[in-house]
Amino acid sequence: MRDRILLLSLLCFAIAFSANAEKLSLDPISPPNPVIYDPFSGNDTIGQSFTFTVRMDKSTGTTSNFSVVINGESSPSSRSLKSSSGSIEIGFYKDSSHTTEIRSTADYSPSYYISGSFDPKTDVLTQTFTIYPRLVKGQSAPYGTYTETFTLVLYKKSTPEQSSPEDTLSFTYTAEVGKAVDVRVGPPNASYDTGMNSYNIDLGEISKGASANFGIFIKGTTGYTLTMHTASGGFLTSSNSSDKIQYTIVVDGKEYYLNSSVILDRETVDSLYSKALLGTVKIAADQNAEPGIYSDAVSFSVTVN
């Protein structure tokens, strides 16, 4: 009779042990959509949110706690997307207001992680969480494709631990910086942000010569060619006279005797460019011309290389 009681006890113990051995895992996720990043934008870039799901294989009689972090190949204190031209830091957040960031096992405290639990004897065996990406504005990011692979790490504990994870799941995040360049003009003390598409210069009385300054402002994410065009080939003309008044333009100390177009500046490397060039319109004295109003149209074009 004693042998039967002992055998029954062993069987009960084995059944109880098996019932508590639930398994947690991460369901496969769809790759997050790439995001377009504008390094000159005045606003942060908000990537499209994406989700992941924690699954429990079977219900048990006890609460099943878990936690999830995001590990990356970058240093623990940053999340960086990389290209041949540079890097862009990115943050992954638990909330749409981007206040609570999800970090890695190396630096989760006092930073944040995702945590949850399955109730005892629950019929709900999955829990889905949303991740909200954000790329902070104003990062130096030339033209290119920026990418990095990150890993969701699931622990069978209420807080992350430096121990073997229950499951892992990798995903790749990508940001694109377009090939773009633009030019504006304006007063010499202006900038690209305060510049404009057209700017009028009044030289006043030019019988004794005259000059006036202006600014040329360039912004771009890649190499470019800046060209200056003149409507009359470097001459001021009048609608009521056949006379012409020759002028030159000095840009950053170099004087140009003009024809229909002149290349002023050229960059050939994919880089982030923000330039201000000082221009001066100069008219030599003692040019014979009938009285009248003389003018010319000078334009600037910039093309990507």
The DSSP line for the chain is -HHHHHHHHHHHHHHHHHHT---EEE---PPPPPEE--TT-SSPEEPPPEEEEEEESS--SS-EEEEEEEEESS-TT--EEE-SS-EEE-EEESSTTS-SBB--TTTTTTSB-EEEEE-TT-S--EEEEEEEEEE-TT----SEEEEEEEEEEEESSSS--SS--SEEEEEEEEEEE---EEEEEE-TT--TTT-BS---------TT-EEEEEEEEEEESS-EEEEEEETTSSEEEETTEEEEEEEEEEETTEEEE--SEEEEEEE-S---EEEEEEEEEEE-S-----SS--B--EEEEEEE-
Give the pLDDT of the chain (305 residues) as one tens digit per residue.
445 444 444 444 444 444 556 899 999 999 899 999 999 999 999 999 999 999 999 988 899 999 999 986 655 667 899 999 899 999 999 999 999 999 887 776 767 899 999 999 889 999 999 999 999 999 999 999 999 999 999 999 988 877 789 999 999 999 999 999 999 999 999 999 999 999 999 998 887 789 999 999 999 999 999 999 998 888 999 988 889 999 999 999 999 988 778 999 999 999 999 999 999 999 988 888 888 899 999 999 999 99
* Residues in contact with 222: Cβ distance below 8 Å, sequence separation at least 6, in sequence order: 142, 143, 179, 180, 181, 270, 271, 304, 305
Q: What pLDDT is recorded for position 257? A: 83
Q: What pLDDT is recorded for position 75? A: 58
Backbone dihedral angles phi then psi of residue 4, each to the nearest 5 degrees: -65, -45
Q: What pLDDT is recorded for position 278? A: 97
Spell out the domains of the chain, with CATH numbers in brackets: 21-177 (2.60.40.3590), 181-304 (2.60.40.1090)
Q: What pLDDT is recorded for position 40? A: 93
- Its pTM stands at 0.81
215-272 pLDDT, tens digit per residue, is 999 999 999 999 999 988 889 999 888 899 999 999 999 999 887 789 999 999 999 9
